[in-house]
Structure 1
Amino acid sequence: MYYKFLNNHGYKILSLRKHVRSTKYMSSFAKLAEHKDLSKIRNIGISAHIDSGKTTLTERILFYTGRIDEMHEVRGKDNVGATMDSMELERQRGITIQSAATYTIWKEHNINIIDTPGHVDFTVEVERALRVLDGAVLVLCAVGGVQSQSLTVNRQMKRYNVPCLAFINKLDRMGANPQRVISQMRSKMNHHAAFIQLPIGLESNCKGIVDLVSQKAIYFEGDHGEALRVDEIPQNMRTESDASRHELIEHLSNADETFGNLYLEEKPFTENDVKAAIRRTCLKREFTPVLVGTALKNKGVQPLLNAVLDYLPNPGEVENFGLKEKEGQEPEKVLLDPARNGDKPFVALAFKLEAGRFGQLTYMRCYQGMLQKGENIYNVRTSRKVRIARLVRMHSNNMEDVNEVYAGDIFALFGVDCASGDTFVNDPKTNISLESIYVPDPVVSMSISPVNSKDRDNFSKAIARFTKEDPTFHFYFDTDIKETIVSGMGELHLEIYAQRMEREYGCPVKLGKPKVAFRETLVAPCEFDYLHKKQSGGQGQYAKVIGEMAPSGNLDVFICQFYSKI
């Protein structure tokens, strides 16, 4: 059976179209600004270790949902680069440096996506993204498996209680072994995980996937994998599929009481029963469904999008708390109401700052109430009032204006002077503060100085901007060694900022190892006997000091005798 893949509004995706956009195709994205029910909203992050395929996966998601017309590779030969890697340095190096936000539509659901970096040097970008997201996709390489940054990302998800799906990517690579990856998930990450999909072939023989929930085989055909063919499970995979499905049922029975009762009583259960059990356990972080595919070869992305809608929470299914401060009392914990009726006071968290073309761009997540263009909001920390002249939704480095935002939306504002982690409300009497973002301490320090002394003004502007945007980037002057020191999460972190200073501010800088401030100390006790005499007219000075100096812990009491000559 053949099912031609269409985008969510019934318009065929024309992958060969380069410059002309359909009017109907463009108008479909106006629906993102519409007031939708909470159940139709998903806020997800794509997180993983370095080079696991996060940005490539995001590029495919945007293509299959009709958000972009054609796909580009992270290190493509056309010198265009992936949509979410908008910075020139990202495209040159082939890595993600800053988290980038976008939004799209899949099956009438609005999906807000944040693509995060994989390097530990930019871990704060992952930290603040997971702080405001409701769910996440943990991407794992089929060859590398669970790696160091995978463990870090897993700890961050646990810190903010973020439910996740696991997507084992790069099945087309030599040495791909998804069974080893899921074994590492269970042993290293302590995930209660099981396959809900199996690959049909590995490496160069990767042809499609087997969906264990619907018990069907899915093949991805067409020039870009946009045509899905649903068929029966291949005969040579029946035994493996039955064993993996039985393992999935056992895991769900152990994790979910409702499904466990059906299993123990040997009652028949349907596909919907299995889906409901996966969803309930996934939301509680008691079970992690594992999907498979290869984003580069355009296989497995559409079923992953379906799983995001089926198993990850909407904003109404996540409990978010604020602290209401009362004078002379302990702060009261308040459960925020994400209902999108606009009756509750507006509460939002500023989670990321960025220097935009029109001033400071502040990324926010709305947790309660609604905000319209032209209204006033208040910074709870500083009590300053700000008038909202422009509301935008971000698509990588492109902005699209909206007139209002609701609870569950991720949006951006211009001209708001604030710090990362500030809470904003529309009623100063609300006085609710949201938990800020965990910021790790810097681990590497280097000396920094502009190559040309005439660039000191630009150097100061760059430092002021970067330290405000990135709370893990520190700057100070060491009076002992008389050097300016910058601290960050790694050498790559500091090197990237040095290159950005030269590119964006025309200020080449010199990085180096900081000097060491040496100090002398005693290794053995030392006696002294000093006589001070001074006579230069008028009253003279005379003193005699006798004593002993010793290292700390063996310090004797000084014996001092002072005599003054009158």
Structure 2
Amino acid sequence: MNSNNRQLRNIGVIAHVDAGKTTTTERILFYTGENHRMGEVHDGTTRMDYDPQERRRGITINSAAITVHWQGTQINLIDTPGHIDFNIEVNRSLRVLDGAVVVFDGVAGVEPQTETNWRLADKYGVPRIAFINKLDRVGADFLRVVAMMEERLGATVLPLQLPIGAEGEFRGVVDLLTQQALVWDRDDASEPVRVTAVPADMADAVGRHRARLIDSVVEQDEQALNAYLNGEPLDAALLKRCIRRGVLSGAFVPALAGSAFKNRGVEPLLDAVVDYLPSPEDILRAEGQPASDPQGPFAALAFKVAAEGHGAMVFVRVYRGRLRRGDSVLDANTGRIERVARLYEVHADDHVELDELQAGDIAAIVGLKETLTGHTLCDPAHPLHLEEISVPEPVIDVAVEPRTREDAQGLSKALQTLLREDPSLRMRHDAESGQTILSGMGELQLEVSIEKLRSRHGVEVQVGRPQVAYRETLGRVVEVHHVHKKQTGGPGQFAEVRLRFEPLARGEGLRFDSQVVGGAIPREFIPAVEAGIRRAAETGVVRGFPSVDFQATLVDGSFHERDSSAMAFELAAAAAAREAFAKADPKLLEPVMAVEVVTPAEYLGDCIGDLHRRRGIVRGQQLRGQAVVIDAQVPLKEMFGYIGSLRALSSGRAQYTMQFDHYEVAPQKVTAELVRS
């Protein structure tokens, strides 16, 4: 596995659900020779969606990795889900990838999940190229999607091709660099592309777009800029060098055209991956050093854990050094030394055993006992922490109970496996009902997780109706004083704390600070105070939901030489926190979703009226082809059963997508209903 410059690409394929991302990936596998038979989503025969649930539902649930080769370059490819419920898969993949192919539907253009994924790629600084797909569909328009990308994503988009023919007549592309036409005469993937002259009726458009392309890219290279200013001709190799520099710096995003389903445009897309997306050595750290260093002490980030029959398989991206089978590594997050039993190159559901990994590689390790998503693995003699992976807050709860006593024994273990695999799932025990509550990003994610309990772990469960995952917060500043004192036959317990609690802005989480001076409380007991507050915050006082968005400050306290302990201070802090939550005018917070409704114009008024009845705020509307897009924010509580209402309102013609936006203080009426229930 060679990670020399320009010979390795670590890329992801990301898109909104149904943009054709998995079909594009399947075509890449076919053209690179990884697959000899073409997989189709609608037939349930795809290589990347190999999970039985993915094949049955026709969607990607798990990010799948595969290694292919094109023009002498190894490409480690990750196909990610498009559905918002599985956004953690995109998040953790983008954290470790060097580049991305973003697939756009040529009719719908920029859709909500594309926008979310684009922002994630911005956050992680991932260079990307755009593949505008489905150009054979009625209503597809390449240049309209380019304009939409610039407007909605704030990107500078650089078309490298123009489509030949539109909708049903789409048959090829003009390459603006070489000024040649690439034509696929048949849908058959085994039919080679035909290189020919630019159609006469496209000559003017090609000239205009090529001139704009050259204007945009020559600034990336001094030699090219001088040649351009002196009126000298610029060859394709020089222009490619300029484009590569612009992509790596984030100056622009190249756009390519095609129809993956009809096998048109996939080979030029692969060429663009090799020509323009970075190798591991092209990615620089903040201090200007390459992020990938084959010579340094070993360091890697675990970005996914998959439960296998023979133990957990931990997917890693290696940033530094080498790792051999049998090596011991430090998990910097747990402080444990873990032993590497086996190393694998991953080909979707097939695995090829390796002797060694080196910087730049994406592969899987078997043998790690406690490593989780986001943990850093490193040389025990050179510990370090790599930036972790941010995990979104769950917004939907469901109660799960075992059907039988035998199921009860397996349920806890099966749930722990699910939580290890998917960090966006959370689990807690409801003290009032005694139920186990599983929380997630959406109904589909929870449905898939429950199905895994049954199909993979053989555990039958009874499932409650999905409920909103509310939170609680403080309404005002309070200060509390608590003394924990217990005298029994043996050593006593003593801890005195004075704490101030104050509300924070939405999304700030829980912060802790200590202002104790002069040794009033020994330093070693202060972490126990924070631990007690965090434990108390797991169940609020309004209705038992976790308390968030507040700061707790340890102002003062005292201890006893013999009777004080970390446990005493943790108990004192937990009791003080519960008292503070009750006194601080607690508020219920409800999740508010960003909702996008796409409807024919004749149903616009009815759809807006229905959103208002659901306490929704309509933030805007715009035309998209023949349809109108409504952008709204609606409390999640009001969105249960929405799909049925929307179909009834629009004779089945409108559709919607939604994703979590923020938490907001719930109206008194909602709080009162919950307290009564």
TM-score interval for Structure 1 and Structure 2 normalised by the shorter chain: 0.7 to 0.9
Aligned residue identity for 2:109: G
Aligned counterpart, 1:282: 247
Cα distance change on mapping 1:441 and 1:337 into 2, 3 Å: closer
Q: Can you give the 5+ residue segments of structure 1 that lack an aligned partner in the other structure?
A: 1-32, 322-332, 518-550, 555-566
- Structure 2 residue corresponding to 1:54, chosen from 9, 17, 21: 21
1:391 aligns with 2:355: no
* Post-superposition CA distance 1:31-88 (Å, at most 9, x none): xx4x452320000000000011111111110110001111010111xx5x20000100
Cα distance change on mapping 1:486 and 1:452 into 2, 3 Å: same
Cα distance change on mapping 1:513 and 1:201 into 2, 3 Å: same
Aligned residue identity for 2:271: N
CA contact (8 A) 2:345 2:364 kept: yes
Aligned counterpart, 1:229: 194
Aligned counterpart, 1:506: 458
* Post-superposition CA distance 1:335-359 (Å, at most 9, x none): 566344xx32111111100101210
1:162 aligns with 2:110: no
Query: Partners in 2 of 1:173 and 1:151 — Cα distance?
Result: 22
Query: Partners in 2 of 1:552 and 1:424 — Cα distance?
Result: 44
Q: Can you give the 5+ residue segments of structure 2 that lack an aligned partner in the other structure?
A: 471-581, 586-677
- Structure 2 residue corresponding to 1:210, chosen from 152, 174, 180: 174
Aligned counterpart, 1:128: 92
Shift of residue 107, structure 1, vs aligned partner: 0.8
Cα distance change on mapping 1:384 and 1:484 into 2, 3 Å: closer
* Post-superposition CA distance 1:155-206 (Å, at most 9, x none): 1100110000000001111111111111110000011002101111122111
Aligned counterpart, 2:292: 338
Shift of residue 482, structure 1, vs aligned partner: 3.9
Aligned counterpart, 1:425: 378
Query: Partners in 1 of 2:367 and 2:130 — Cα distance?
Result: 38
1:104 aligns with 2:104: no
- 1:462-473 equivalence runs, <5 A: 462-473=414-425
Greater RCO (Cα-Cα under 8 Å, separation 6 or more)? 1
Query: Partners in 2 of 1:56 and 1:368 — Cα distance?
Result: 34
1:92 aligns with 2:92: no
- 1:377-456 equivalence runs, <5 A: 377-417=329-369, 418-426=371-379, 428-456=380-408
Aligned counterpart, 1:185: 149
- Structure 2 residue corresponding to 1:272, chosen from 229, 232, 237: 237
The answer to which of 448-457 and 367-376 deviates more is 448-457
Query: Partners in 1 of 2:68 and 2:190 — Cα distance?
Result: 19
Query: Partners in 2 of 1:365 and 1:383 — Cα distance?
Result: 19
Aligned counterpart, 1:22: none
Shift of residue 481, structure 1, vs aligned partner: 4.3
Aligned residue identity for 1:338: S
- Structure 1 residue corresponding to 2:159, chosen from 195, 199, 202: 195
CA contact (8 A) 2:439 2:469 kept: no
1:432 alignment partner, SS class: coil
With the length of structure 2 as denominator, give the TM-score of the two structures.
0.67
With the length of structure 1 as denominator, give the TM-score of the two structures.
0.79
CA contact (8 A) 1:192 1:251 kept: no
1:249 aligns with 2:191: no
Aligned residue identity for 1:287: F
Aligned counterpart, 2:267: 302
CA contact (8 A) 1:481 1:515 kept: no
2:374 alignment partner, SS class: coil
Shift of residue 376, structure 1, vs aligned partner: 2.0
Query: Partners in 2 of 1:277 and 1:515 — Cα distance?
Result: 50
2:464 alignment partner, SS class: strand
The answer to which of 401-410 and 262-271 deviates more is 262-271
The answer to which of 44-53 and 343-352 deviates more is 343-352
CA root-mean-square deviation: 2.3
1:433 alignment partner, SS class: coil
Cα distance change on mapping 1:171 and 1:516 into 2, 3 Å: closer
Cα distance change on mapping 1:168 and 1:383 into 2, 3 Å: same
- Structure 2 residue corresponding to 1:356, chosen from 289, 296, 308: 308
Aligned residue identity for 1:421: G
Q: How many residues align?
A: 472
Query: Partners in 2 of 1:226 and 1:64 — Cα distance?
Result: 11
Cα distance change on mapping 1:515 and 1:210 into 2, 3 Å: closer
The answer to which of 443-452 and 257-266 deviates more is 257-266
Cα distance change on mapping 1:46 and 1:268 into 2, 3 Å: same
Query: Partners in 1 of 2:146 and 2:469 — Cα distance?
Result: 47
Percent of aligned pairs with the same amino acid: 40
